[in-house]
């Protein structure tokens, strides 16, 4: 009888030890599960996107280029606006609204009225933007791109400026009309030959509206003279001016935006400020 009581007590003590061990063993397992959950949920949020820098991902993506040059710092870059729809291109600041008060034609003393802000600059010898300010936006920059129609990677030889159909297109500066007519995918085109600072420079204007040609080959034009109007002829997905600059010869395409800026362009009818 005494031996039976001893065995029962021994078994009871063993059961109590097992229960205590199971309770203590469950604590580390719970901690491990909680730790794994924290790593799984929190790490992606803190490891890839910093809450105090919501634009850091965009800035990083824009800086990735095969040549190591920042997209935002490239010669033909666009400013970008972060919105719910993504990155929305807007015209480069120098192309959109900058008034170049350093233009030599603004350096005058308007003694008569003392109000130089009302003085409209002469177009003579000026480098003018081919569209009036406020009627366009830059829709595609110069450089390699996937062609929107063919789907082929190729050089976009100019800069596109979207504008309403029929918007007047003006001559960059004084020159002689060199070409008028259809030009393959460029549609209705006018090319003008200029002598700028003693060097030959061609300007070219594509996708013009049918029937809008305002000049003919061999015609002398002045800065600001109307050449035609914005259209969508040729390989085009909408009304726009495809504008090209070619120094030296007709096939030497360069980015027209920095060229315009380096030549202190201004807008037709711009006033000194």
For residue 249, being part of any structural domain is answered with yes
Tell me what pLDDT residue 78 has: 30
121 & 234 share domain: yes
* CA atoms of 245 and 157, how far apart (whole Å): 9
What is d(CA 269, CA 183) in angstroms, rounded to the nearest whole number? 30
Are 229 and 98 part of one and the same domain? yes
Q: Are residues 37 and 112 in the same domain?
A: no
pLDDT at site 55: 30
Q: Is residue 5 part of a domain?
A: yes
Looking at the structure, tell me whether residues 23 and 137 fall in a common domain: no
Adjacent-strand bridge partners of 205: 190, 243
Q: What does the pLDDT read at residue 215?
A: 99
Q: Which residue in 186, 198, 197 sits closest to 253, CA to CA?
A: 186
Per-residue pLDDT of the chain (273 residues; tens, 9 = 90+): 555 555 666 666 677 766 665 555 555 555 545 554 443 433 333 333 333 332 322 222 222 233 333 322 333 333 322 222 233 334 444 433 333 333 444 543 333 344 544 566 778 889 999 999 999 999 999 999 888 888 888 899 999 999 999 999 999 999 999 999 999 999 999 999 999 999 999 999 999 999 999 999 999 999 999 999 999 999 999 999 999 999 999 999 999 999 999 999 999 988 765
Examine the domain organization and report whether 126 and 37 are in the same domain: no
- Cα–Cα distance for residue pair 250/246, rounded to 1 Å: 6
pTM here is 0.60
Domain of residue 27, residue span: 1-48
**52, two tokens:** 């105090």
The values of phi and psi at residue 176, to 5°, are -120, 130
**What confidence score (pLDDT) does residue 149 get?**
82
The first and second tokens of residue 12, run together, are: 């009871």
**For 203, what's the count of Cα atoms within 13 Å in the CB-facing half-sphere?**
28
Both 123 and 254 in a single domain?
Answer: yes
pLDDT value at residue 272:
64
Say how many C-beta atoms besides its own lie within 10 A of residue 215's C-beta: 18
């Amino acid at each position: 009888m005494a031996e039976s009581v001893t065995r029962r007590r021994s078994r009871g003590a063993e059961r109590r030890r097992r229960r205590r061990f199971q309770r203590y063993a469950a604590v580390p397992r719970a901690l491990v599960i909680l730790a794994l959950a924290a790593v799984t949920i929190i790490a992606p949020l803190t490891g890839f996107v910093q809450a105090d820098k919501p634009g850091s991902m965009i800035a990083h993506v824009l800086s990735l280029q095969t040549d190591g040059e920042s997209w935002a710092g490239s010669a033909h870059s666009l400013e970008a606006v972060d919105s719910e729809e993504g990155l929305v291109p807007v015209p480069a600041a120098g192309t959109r609204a900058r008034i170049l008060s350093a233009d030599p034609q603004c350096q005058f003393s308007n003694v008569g009225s003392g109000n130089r802000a009302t003085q409209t600059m002469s177009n003579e010898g000026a480098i003018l933007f081919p569209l009036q300010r406020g009627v366009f936006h830059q829709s595609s920059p110069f450089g390699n791109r996937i062609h929107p129609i063919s789907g082929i990677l190729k050089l976009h030889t100019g800069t596109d400026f979207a504008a309403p159909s029929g918007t007047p297109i003006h001559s960059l500066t004084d020159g002689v009309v060199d070409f008028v007519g259809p030009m393959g995918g460029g549609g209705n085109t006018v090319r003008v030959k200029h002598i700028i600072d003693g060097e030959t420079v061609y300007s070219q204007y594509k996708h013009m509206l049918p029937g809008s040609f305002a000049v003919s080959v061999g015609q002398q034009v002045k800065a600001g003279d109307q050449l035609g109007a914005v259209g969508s002829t040729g390989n085009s997905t909408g009304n726009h001016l495809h504008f090209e600059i070619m120094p030296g010869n007709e096939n030497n395409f360069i980015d027209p935006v920095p060229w315009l800026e380096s030549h202190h362009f201004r807008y037709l009818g711009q006033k000194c400020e």
